[in-house]
């Protein structure tokens, strides 16, 4: 007699329509394992895990609670050939164990094929399109070898570690939080990552510290001895504390006030972060514009300053030098009788006395005349009183 397909509970098995991943394979193995735990196994080494050893290799199996030895699958005892009553009873027990083993194997394959698509096992089909002669472990190994790369395993391990750090939501029962971190732990264990109870407790305390109503309960937990601080005790301790707080109206009011203050603080932090981000973006924009300006400026042709016209200045300086030289080297202006020379019947102007030196100027100019000297309105070219050697 073979187990019927309708007797297999598939309601707890998730169907995966997409390509198998390390997550979907691990999840399917956990779900199928729960079903196999309910199937009787006569081997005492299976402990309380029933026929679930069928989907685990020895490394994974020995991590199970209470398991110390691997389970040896039964073999077909064949036809009874004994002659004693005791031998007959042993043969009957062997036949029953073999029958249960075959039924569990068949059920396991049915659940695996339900969890994944038939084409995921295409390489295992024979010429008739049947998948025959493979154990459950070999089917799971095929999925891992075909669809999972080593880097996928590393990424999934990282993701499961993040699941251990997920937030506790006080609006839900604490069991929701406990279940989530326990599932992450089981997934990591299946990937050969050792996560002990102390790790779960540490993550749980980090979450509960964020809730003021659990402050005293955390202090009480820390006073327990090391042997008392188990994951099971942790769950019961804080579940009781959370339930008591929910029934205490004073605590509820305090929690509401504290949560409102915390929410306002978080909002202020968020606003500060937004302002800081905006300031950083503005500074980056300014730096970018400065670099653009510098680059554009470097491309512009260099403008030379216009040449300065020094001609007028040179003429002025030379004129002053000539006037000074003429003034210092002129000697006597000639003439007699203390009067300026005359020519062509022009008038003689009286001299200025002795040497023509005066205490003040009459005209505001630098004109000089070879005959008349300086402080006059004309020069040597326009002089009307030219000396003969002018």
Kindly state whether residue 32 falls inside one of the protein's structural domains: yes
**What pTM, to 2 d.p., does this model score?**
0.51
Q: What pLDDT band is residue 385 in, cutting at 50, 70 and 90? A: confident
> SS3 for 373?
strand
Kindly state whether residue 294 falls inside one of the protein's structural domains: no
> 135-144 long-range contacts, Cβ below 8 Å, gap at least 24?
135/54, 135/105, 136/32, 136/54, 136/55, 136/105, 136/108, 136/109, 136/112, 137/54, 137/55, 137/56, 137/57, 139/109, 139/112, 140/25, 140/29, 140/55, 140/112, 143/20, 143/25, 143/116, 144/22, 144/25
Phi, psi (degrees; rounded to nearest 5) at 70: -75, 155
Provide the number of structural domains found in the chain. Answer: 4
Both 100 and 17 in one domain: the answer is: yes
pLDDT at 219 over 90: yes
Cα angle value 197/202/206 (rounded, 5°): 145
Mean local confidence (pLDDT), 136-144:
93
Both 165 and 211 in one domain: the answer is: yes
Kindly state whether residue 159 falls inside one of the protein's structural domains: yes
> 310-315 long-range contacts, Cβ below 8 Å, gap at least 24?
none
Both 165 and 128 in one domain: the answer is: no
Among 96, 113, 148, give the residue marking a domain's end.
148
Give the structural domain span for 27: 5-148
Both 68 and 27 in one domain: the answer is: yes
Q: For the beta carbon of residue 110, count every other beta carbon within 10 angstroms.
A: 16
Q: How far apart are the first and last CA of the chain?
A: 155
Both 237 and 349 in one domain: the answer is: no
Kindly state whether residue 136 falls inside one of the protein's structural domains: yes
Percent of the chain with pLDDT over 90: 30
> SS3 for 374?
strand
Q: How far apart are CA 23 and CA 28, in angstroms?
A: 9
Find tokens 């059920």 and name the residue.
Answer: 107
Per-residue pLDDT at 334 = 45
Per-residue pLDDT at 138 = 93
pLDDT at 94 over 60: yes
Condensed to tens digits (0 to 9), the pLDDT of residues 74-92 reads: 999 999 888 899 999 999 9
Both 158 and 133 in one domain: the answer is: no
Q: How far apart are CA 178 and CA 172, in angstroms?
A: 11
pLDDT at 263 over 80: no
Q: What pLDDT band is residue 224 in, cutting at 50, 70 and 90? A: very high
Phi, psi (degrees; rounded to nearest 5) at 373: 95, -140
CB 273 within 8 A of CB 281: no
Per-residue pLDDT at 342 = 43
Q: What is the mean pLDDT of the chain?
A: 81
Per-residue pLDDT at 153 = 81
Both 27 and 143 in one domain: the answer is: yes
Give the distance between the most distant pair of CA atoms in the chain: 185
Mean local confidence (pLDDT), 100-112:
92
Both 253 and 236 in one domain: the answer is: no
Mean local confidence (pLDDT), 185-197:
83
Kindly state whether residue 354 falls inside one of the protein's structural domains: yes
Among 148, 177, 193, give the residue marking a domain's end.
148
CB 181 within 8 A of CB 164: yes
pLDDT at 172 over 50: yes
The region of weakest confidence among 122-136, 215-229, 321-335 is 321-335
pLDDT at 255 over 70: no
Q: What pLDDT band is residue 121 in, cutting at 50, 70 and 90? A: very high
Helices (H), the chain: 22-37, 58-61, 85-115, 136-147, 150-164, 174-190, 197-208, 215-222, 231-247, 249-299, 311-329
Both 26 and 130 in one domain: the answer is: yes
Per-residue pLDDT at 345 = 44
Among 148, 179, 209, give the residue marking a domain's end.
148
Q: What pLDDT band is residue 346 in, cutting at 50, 70 and 90? A: very low
Mean local confidence (pLDDT), 274-294:
80
Both 256 and 273 in one domain: the answer is: yes
> 92-99 long-range contacts, Cβ below 8 Å, gap at least 24?
93/42, 96/42, 97/42, 97/43, 98/74, 99/1
Kindly state whether residue 326 falls inside one of the protein's structural domains: yes
Kindly state whether residue 385 falls inside one of the protein's structural domains: no
Both 173 and 47 in one domain: the answer is: no
Phi, psi (degrees; rounded to nearest 5) at 369: -130, 135
Full DSSP string of 76-125: ---S----SHHHHHHHHHHHHHHHHHHHHHHHHHHHHHHHS-GGGGGGG-
Chain centroid to CA 124: how far? 43
> Mean pLDDT: which of 62-71, 311-320, 329-338, 368-377 is highest?
62-71
Both 96 and 110 in one domain: the answer is: yes
């Amino acid at each position: 007699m073979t187990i019927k397909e309708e007797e297999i509970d598939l309601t707890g098995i998730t169907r995966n329509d997409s390509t198998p991943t390390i997550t979907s394979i691990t999840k399917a193995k956990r779900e199928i394992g729960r079903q196999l735990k309910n199937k009787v196994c006569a081997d005492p080494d299976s402990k309380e895990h029933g026929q679930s050893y069928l989907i685990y290799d020895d490394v994974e199996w020995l991590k199970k609670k209470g398991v110390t030895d691997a389970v040896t699958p039964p073999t077909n005892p064949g036809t009874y050939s004994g002659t004693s009553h005791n031998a007959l009873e042993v043969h009957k027990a062997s036949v029953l164990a073999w029958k249960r083993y075959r039924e569990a194997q068949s059920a396991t394959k049915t659940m695996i094929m339900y969890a994944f698509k038939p084409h995921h096992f295409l390489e295992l089909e024979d010429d008739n399109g049947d998948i025959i002669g493979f154990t459950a472990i070999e089917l799971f190994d095929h999925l891992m070898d075909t669809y999972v790369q080593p880097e996928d395993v590393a990424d999934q391990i990282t993701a499961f570690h993040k699941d251990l750090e997920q937030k506790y939501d006080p609006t839900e029962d604490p069991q929701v939080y406990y279940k989530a971190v326990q599932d992450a732990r089981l997934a990591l264990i299946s990937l050969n990552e050792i996560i002990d109870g102390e790790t779960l407790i540490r993550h749980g305390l980090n979450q509960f510290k964020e809730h003021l109503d659990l402050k005293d309960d955390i202090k009480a937990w820390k006073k327990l001895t090391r042997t008392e601080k188990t994951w099971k005790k942790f769950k019961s301790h804080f579940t009781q504390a959370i339930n008591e707080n929910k029934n205490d109206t004073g605590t509820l009011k305090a929690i509401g006030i504290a949560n409102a203050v915390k929410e306002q603080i978080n909002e202020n932090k968020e606003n500060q972060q937004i302002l800081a981000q905006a300031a950083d973006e503005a500074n980056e924009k300014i730096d970018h514009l400065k670099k653009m300006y510098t680059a554009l400026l470097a491309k512009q042709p260099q403008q030379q300053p216009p040449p300065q016209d020094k001609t007028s200045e040179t003429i002025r300086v030379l004129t002053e030098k000539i006037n000074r030289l003429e003034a210092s080297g002129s000697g006597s202006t000639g003439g007699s009788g203390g009067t300026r020379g005359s020519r062509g019947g022009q008038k003689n102007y009286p001299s200025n006395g002795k040497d023509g030196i005066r205490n003040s100027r009459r005209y505001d100019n630098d004109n000089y005349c070879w005959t008349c000297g300086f402080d006059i309105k004309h020069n040597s070219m326009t002089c009307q009183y030219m000396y003969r050697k002018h």
